[in-house]
Amino acid sequence: MSDRNVEAADRLLAAPPIGKHSRRDMLRWGVGLGLSAPLLSAMLATRAGSAVARQGTLAAAPPAEPVSLTIIDVAGQTQLTQPMIDDYVAKNPEWVSSVEFTKATSPELAAKIQAQQAAGRADIHMVLTGTDGLSAGIEQDLWLKLLPDQASAFPNLMESLISPGAQELAQGFGINVVFGNYGPTFTYNPEEVETPPTTVEELLSWAEANPKRLMYARPANSGPGRGWIMSLPYHLGDADPKNPETGWEKTWTYLEQLGQYIEYYPSGTGATMKELGEGSRSMVASTMGWDMNPRVLGTVPMDFKAVTFPNGPLLADAQFVVIPRGLDEARNAVVLNLMAWMLRPEQQAKAYDQAYFYPGPAVKDVPLDMAPPESQEAVKSVLRPEFDQLIEAGKIELPLDAPSLVKAFAIWDERIGGGKVVS
């Protein structure tokens, strides 16, 4: 193959965005550059890898026919990533014909996936999940192994992520696409909480003096809920903060004591914010994102305050994309291509959203000024300066690994939730 032919092929591969133009178009343009169609076809196949690496997408051709996708969200993640996905659909018609979004709670996810796999069908092609659904699926062997099996789809992944440790939580079964939402934070009505607690001991005393005015959601389906319980071993000096089964003796005792003054536990965080905004509660567990976004939306008044506990670490949260086992080859390829697209910096900037998962981007070097103007305006309207200071200076801890998190949920459901969880 001559240098002249190689140069012509490189010009062709670099010109149109992959997936935006048909293979037929590319062949026609290649012939115009002086390449024969058979030669160009071979070159497109053999040289696609280097072109893909430059453009940040997959070294794979589109499927013979574009596919439809059904995506299930069990973490409220569509608020952050649906704009990325919608953009992919619009710009890559040769890969995907349509996308249908559906939602469920995280505890419902495993049963849905198990049912489709038992029936030998693929009704759900991609899952947007937090560490809760991710962990349950890993435990039950529901997800397709992505790393290292599909590492070529995600070149330089670990180097590009803000938290390689968060990616490691996925154990190769998911890709970290959203990161941040640090906690625990408690959002409160300053008219009812004149002196907010600054330690977990003070919080227990406040709850005792103000029964039924504190609330947090069931950890198995709530980022603030699980961030709250995972932070306690550090504040209470428990034996092993990473082992809820044998190392959280003080934590479980504390949560049982605190539970005496909590009326019930909603199944999701949104209900706690609604009750706070309506005045049914005075203080609820949140995170930075869950403190900010409800004020953008007007669910919680703009002048409500937030407090963190300075003597402990910040618990980071992360969200992932996973693929159920059992998909056909074409859909696997399309979902992998879409996942790689979601990691592009210009797509990651959309994760700032309306501060729902603040900051939001999982990859490095995606500042707020890259976000859409409406996102910049929303975030700036509710951002508390101390949040960025805490992120910069505080100690950051990652969530529990999958087996430990599943165990923590089970213990909480048995010892703390009991009959007090309300859907």
Q: What confidence score (pLDDT) does residue 402 get?
A: 87
Q: Residue 216 in contact with residue 272, Cβ under 8 Å?
A: yes
Query: Which pTM value belongs to this model?
Result: 0.81
Q: What is the pLDDT of residue 78?
A: 95
pLDDT given at position 122: 87
Kindly state the percentage of the chain with pLDDT values over 90. Answer: 80
pLDDT at 73: 97
CATH class, range 182-317+397-422: alpha beta
Please list the ranges in the chain whose pLDDT falls under 50: 1-6, 8-25, 27, 37-59
Q: What is the CATH number of domain 67-181+319-374?
A: 3.40.190.10
The pLDDT of residue 45: 40
User: What was the pLDDT predicted at 63?
Assistant: 95
